[in-house]
Structure 1
Amino acid sequence: MPVLPPPSASSSSSAFPPPRAGVVAALRAAGCVFAEEEAELILAGARTPRELAALVDRRVAGFPLEQVLGWAGFHGLRIAVEPGVFVPRRRTEFMVDQAVARFPGASVVVDLCCGSGAVGVALAAALGPVELHAADIDPAAVRCARRNVVPRGGTVHEGDLFDALPGSLRGRVDILAANVPYVPTEEVGLLPPEARDHEPLVALDGGADGLDVLRRVTAEAPDWLAPGGCLLVETGERQAPQALAAFTRAGLTAHFAVSEDLCANVVTGIK
């Protein structure tokens, strides 16, 4: 969570609980670990007392904070997030960093399984002018992604993985970032309620071993990558050996990188 300034001294001078204290109490009672920090963000986003009450009610009901606020912080950017859309995780910033390190001169970037489009937008911000495309099978994600990607000069496509992309991209993609779902089906029910109840199943469920979508992406990626282009996916630590094997079968030179600080695991394949 971001570090926020403490409340002003005047906030505790009233005989009645001030708005901040009431919000903090409601969030803390709902089990929010970072109640004080979340209260500051909600108070800053509310324009009227009625709107404040609605935001607090949604958070207390278990909606992800980012969906309540309408935005998520990601790689130093503010990304629009809508109800029912996958919330970008901070750990996925590691995939962005790996992509920029592998191909700093990239000119064509594709964000597959894009959700809000956070990865593509972050790559475009880090790399400078690029031809940016994003794609997702979920119409709600596509609508949300357009809010983030189009202002960057990018295009968002709706469809199943590579079927969504224009054929003109074949053999031209420098960075193909695919934040595929990788939670095994039987473990989806173990996710925090914020995820399993308020994010689309298609963005979470990766099949029996969590690697169904990863295998599909890896098998087709070489046809879309430019020479020297790279495919990047995030995966679980225990899935890494199988993910690396899938990359190798596809003819990609595979690398595995770990960020202990972010608890992130990224497999990169170079064509």
Structure 2
Amino acid sequence: MRIAVTTPTGNVGRHVVAMLVRAGIRPRALLRDPARLASPVRDEVDAVPVDLYDAEAVAAATEGVDALFWVDPPAVGEDPLADYARATAAVVRAVTGNGIGRVVFQSSVGAEKRHGAGEIDGLAHTETALDGLGVDVTHLRCGYFFTNLGYQLDALRAGTLQVTYPLDHSMPWVAPRDIAEVAVGRLLSPDWSGRCVQAVHGPADLTWRQVADILTAATGRKIHVEQVPDDTLRAQLRLAGMPDKRVEAMLGMATGLREDFVPEQRRTVRTTTPTTLAAWAYDHLRHQLADGS
């Protein structure tokens, strides 16, 4: 089986590549700069330099591919939803032009809303576009990544975790490696077809108060969590130079999901993955915080 992997150095993609290699697959790794691949990995993959926003380039890079793990690349412009639209056009061009019959797409909890969830609306757009192609596609509706805590390393070193959610708001938290495991299982399994939605919820839904307690125990640093008003965060992001459309897209991911949102898929044994936030924080976040202290 010929499998292409996008964002192969990302939080999820690097694990997808490693798991495919261990399964005996030589994946095709699509990224801007192949030099970013870890040196031991380069000998085990076919690395192709490509801009994932360039539809013709993506089509050329995926010629002859049977299956594709697609991640919309990080938004880079002033309007994130416009960037998602460009990425969607690229994957559609690749799938249709090359007859790729199987796609596993890294989406998010909240994409089922289709509208009103900030940047997640961009993932919803990719979902609906892939649905219209008539190929076998699985949308991975992932929970909140543990690695998102990396955006607040300085605040965490100071003992503070700032959020725009109510502190008792409960949501699924998941390790990127566990997402990769589900993705690879889907890529390699012959026992599914058509359009599928596979939620990836991690081992537990956690409130932000619980998250702060877990991080305190795992890192040995007292972490206090506080809810920040939307306008305060909006002002902070603008002060940092973020364009208005990016600010609203970022805020929208929280405001669109924090009230009256029910995921399409409830937590079940099928959606529950094993890695706990406590284990991940002890293995990874503890060292990241220590490195900057």
Q: Tell me the TM-score normalized by structure 2.
A: 0.37
Q: Tell me the TM-score normalized by structure 1.
A: 0.39
User: RCO (CA 8 Å, sep 6+): is it higher in 1 or 2?
Assistant: 2
